[in-house]
Structure 1
């Protein structure tokens, strides 16, 4: 699923009962939606027109008309059983199958993320990071790997950046931020307690706050100034958790490259310095 359909799939369990009825009807009958008025959709799904409007807003659309157009685009080449399905890894799978499935899931995660990643939100994040005196990246567990990747990248262009796996240090860092600084919270679920605490303290300190979480309502995105959403549905064998990491790394790459491009005249010397320093560590 891509675009509107995968957005629905991602948030369906967080909807209220009336919205969930509509969402499930759309997922079960995606090709019908382009021919249904809001009244007919509400009747067929056993819900109300106001619930349809709410669902459209939750999904990020101005109204039902825009939503219906996007659903129609999504279903042009829609094949629920094959092309649009994340593939799980099964016990004792052949190595060739594992290689194919994991690679497919990773690529699909990036493609799906590009359907929900707002260019406007990315632009705001890039502008804030470009101007920032200090940038913090917060993440725990697998998300800490993403934070350290961001730390490594932005260090290359001599930005004043911090990332640490120590949650006590994270809140200490956050408490000393100020207006003009940027704090980035990385958590696929958007519900990681330590990361939420750090970003909340950063916000209270006056920093611009950015989230990198899954699409939909969650605790971390709800308090951040700028939300960068990724999409990678988790599946039984945790391949989803692996591909969500790839999607988050891709977002970091986008931010880094855009900031470096904005500041190229200022950072080209730093890029060359770090390139030469890294070359000195090579055997040959």
Structure 2
């Protein structure tokens, strides 16, 4: 099982949002991960063509007080990597044999889930489950592939008698956000965390006092910085995987975790709703 808070995955996911100097350090670390634990701060600065101060700033950006604690965490990540030897993401090439496509897509999706489990913050998950348990009204906001994830969340939480709706276009999102009140929970699903329509709805939701939960890729983004609770996932979208395959699977996994967390904690009171919905759907299928 992958260790929690895998530093290498975090560096990879946050790289594009770093300053140009920090990005040089990140790229050197990712290209030479096994060497880094043996380097002094001066050596890493030299090899990455930066400075001691830049390396320290990079460590702080990654959430560490200093270089030593950064190296300890990186060593742990490398130990996990060596032990598990995880498969790399595989791009889909024109003309690939179907057997290759089947294998690569399945492996990429599985790796997205494993990587997400490595970096997701369990404390933030617990906060999200608590907020979802205490509210009776949940609103999901997402566009495109993220909107599909919102629909999945709507379907799941509606089954346990939560007042729940998903809004997947900009105009309806503004209307829904305007009607939110204190005690409501607004879940914002966005791969980039910088989608304009999502940020507009977030701004209104915050002003209305709703509890805001961000589900977004690990890294710096306005959505992550401004939301009350932040749930991050990890997935590497590569050239031909234009359908946001990995990120969608990772986000759906987080939605499943939230639903299971709420349903497990409240099973005594919600099992009647699960049974009712199961029975009515089963009856309809038999008639069909």
d(CA) in 2 for partners of 1:275, 1:261? 17
> Is 1:60 matched up with 2:38?
no
Equivalent residue number for residue 245 of structure 2 = 242
Residues 138, 170 of structure 1: 8 Å contact kept: yes
Q: 1:255-277, CA deviations, whole angstroms, 9 ceiling, x for partnerless residues?
A: 00001112122211111111111
Unmatched 5+ residue regions in structure 1? none
Per the alignment, in what secondary structure is the counterpart of residue 158 of structure 1?
Answer: coil
RMSD of aligned Cα (Å):
2.0
Describe the superposition over 1:215-243 as per-residue Cα deviations: whole angstroms up to 9, x where unpaired: 10012112111111111111010167101
Aligned to 2:221: 218
TM-score, structure 2 normalization: 0.91
State the alpha-carbon separation in 2 of the partners of residues 87 and 204 from structure 1.
43
Residues 240, 10 of structure 1: alpha-carbon distance in 2 compared, 3 angstrom cutoff: farther
TM-score by length of 1: 0.93
5+ residue gaps, structure 2: none
- Contact 1:89–1:239 (CA<8 Å) still a contact in 2? no
Q: In the alignment, is the contact (CA less than 8 A) between 2:193 and 2:216 conserved in 1? A: yes
CA distance in 2, matches of 1:247, 1:40: 37
C-alpha displacement at 1:90, in angstroms?
Answer: 0.6
Q: CA separation of 1:64/1:179 partners in 2, compared to 1, >3 Å: closer, same or farther?
A: farther
8 Å CA contact 1:88, 1:239 repeated in 2: no
- Summarize deviations over 1:162-189 as a string: whole Å, max 9, x none: 1133422221111121222110100111
Aligned length: 282
Matched, 1:7 2:28: no
What is the SS of the residue equivalent to 2:237?
coil
1:155 equivalent to 2:158? Answer yes
Q: How does 1:121-160 map to 2 (within 5 A)?
A: 121-160=124-163
Give runs of aligned pairs for residues 62-141 of structure 1, distance below 5 A: 62-76=65-79, 78=81, 83-141=86-144
